Amino acid sequence: MLKFLQKIGKSLVLPIAVLPIAGLMLRLGQADVITALNFIPFVDQILPYFGSAGSAIFDNLPMLFAVGVAVGLSDDQNGASALAGLVSYLTLTHITVTYWGINFEEAIATTLNISFLGGILAGIIGGLSYNKFRGVRLPEFLAFFGGRRAVPIMAGIISVVIAIPLAMIWPSIQGGLTEASMGIAGFGAFGAAFFAFFNRLLLPLGLHHVFNSFFWFQLGDFAGATGDLNRFFAGDPTAGHFMAGFFPIMMFGLPALALAMYFAAKKHKRKAVAGMLLSLALTSFLTGVTEPLEFLFIFLSPVLLVAHAVLSALSMFITDSLGVLHGFTFSAGAIDYMLNFSLATKPLLILAVGAGMAGLYFTVFYTLIVKLNLPTPGRENDEDMLEEPEQQLSYTEQELYEHYVTGLGGATNIVKVDNCATRLRLDVVDSDLIDEGALKKLGAKGVMKLNKTTAQVIVGTQVEFVADGIKAVLKK
């Protein structure tokens, strides 16, 4: 099960890659930022388009997860698996909201939607349906619907079967979380800590939005404004208990976690992951958009998810105990911290708490990743990879791919070419025909002959281009 969850986590890397820039554009398009930058000519006319562009991604994030997981779980990353994931997601979401008796737009506007869980579940259905049904042969008069065309059809049918019981239990799950929220609210600093703990713990299922809604939009009343968030901006001096503790996490803790992932990566892989981790850390710090970074690790190990939830609870407990009150309209990033600084109580203490949380996050996550040997980015299981490839000969791209084909035993020896994050995955006629020395001279870092007909060539982060180049040569 853990290996399966880790495969889902790796599948999410592709859709996650687009989120940092989307998060920044979404934040720049918010009304408070536009107002703050109103001294710049035409900013009020330009930034709303940035917001719309970012919103287009985040409003459809579960759908992107459905496609990403489906492709990641499929045997050969064929486009039919992506279509199956999309069909499954649309089927799941529309059937559940039909059961609830409201239309789809109303469901998206409320908390009655299956969010991330629906996207990931749809991706699993799509990917596994592809692996199961892509080779289905039907009678001649139905042959058009056989093979890969059968995949989205079967994914849709399976989704119908799953969606009906899911629709029956989902409102009860959300109702139970709302009741739990009401019970937690009266426990002071401990209540704030419990809120942060469950807020992060429910993240993989998307149910944290349900949990948030009571605290941020319903709890308490001040001059007609309800909820911790609305009361804070209405001037309530007692509001901000359930928001302030997130600033140290999103501005300091999670960027430190990204740094821990960098130092936990293998030395020869650090350059490859540095750019991604830096962009995710900056996104968390500036905008408070944390999902791109969190989805890199929450499926790798339950221990990492629980550690994140516990440290979030600790941050919330400390800030509330110190009397720190702060709020945000978007999320707890540096932009909101500065824009709402004048409305906050003891906001400078957030920086001190943040420094402490950064140290804790780095120490805890670095230790857990290394001690548990978790495959976070840059720690993939490539122990057989050489620290440095042999001297690479100088070729044009076309010549390089042609020599790869030769090194693999020639075109007649290659049955199928696929790739993962760093490796070529090959089905061959005879793995003994593969020339390991020739491939290393081309830049490959290692060769694994798993059996007579299966082999892997460790290429590195450029593997996708090499795989596509080999396929192009074979097609010719």
**What pLDDT digit, counting tens, does each position of 422-443 carry?**
678 888 999 999 998 889 888 8
Please tell me the distance from the alpha carbon of residue 330 to that of residue 333, in angstroms, as a whole number.
Answer: 8
Query: Could you tell me where the DSSP H helices lie in 37-149?
Result: 43-58, 61-73, 79-100, 104-109, 115-133
pLDDT at residue 272 above 90? no
Q: Which residues are catalytic?
A: 420
In this structure, what token pair is assigned to residue 169? 């239990």
Q: Where in the chain is the domain with CATH 3.30.1360.60?
A: 397-475
Q: Are 91 and 54 in contact, with CB atoms under 8 Å apart?
A: no
| Tally of CB atoms within 10 A around 351 | 13
**What pLDDT digit, counting tens, does each position of 16-56 carry?**
667 667 777 877 887 878 888 888 888 888 888 988 888 88
Architecture of domain 397-475: 2-Layer Sandwich (3.30)
Question: Measured between alpha carbons, how far is residue 40 from residues 36, 47, 337 in Å?
Answer: 9, 11, 21
Please report the sign of the dihedral spanned by the C-alpha atoms of residue 431, residue 435, residue 436, residue 442: negative
Collapsing DSSP states into helix, strand and coil, what is residue 141?
helix
Residues 204-232, mean pLDDT to the nearest whole number = 77
Give the model's pLDDT for residue 107.
Answer: 47
Collapsing DSSP states into helix, strand and coil, what is residue 399?
helix
Residues 338-354, mean pLDDT to the nearest whole number = 92
Q: Are 242 and 228 in contact, with CB atoms under 8 Å apart?
A: yes
**Confidence (pTM):** 0.63
Give the model's pLDDT for residue 112.
Answer: 47
Question: Measured between alpha carbons, how far is residue 32 from residues 47, 267, 336, 337, 345 in Å?
Answer: 11, 42, 9, 12, 20
269 has which bridge partners?
A: none
Q: What is the band of 109 on the pLDDT scale with cuts at 50, 70, 90?
A: very low
Residues 6 or more apart whose CB falls under 8 angstroms from that of 198 comprise 180, 184, 208, 211, 309
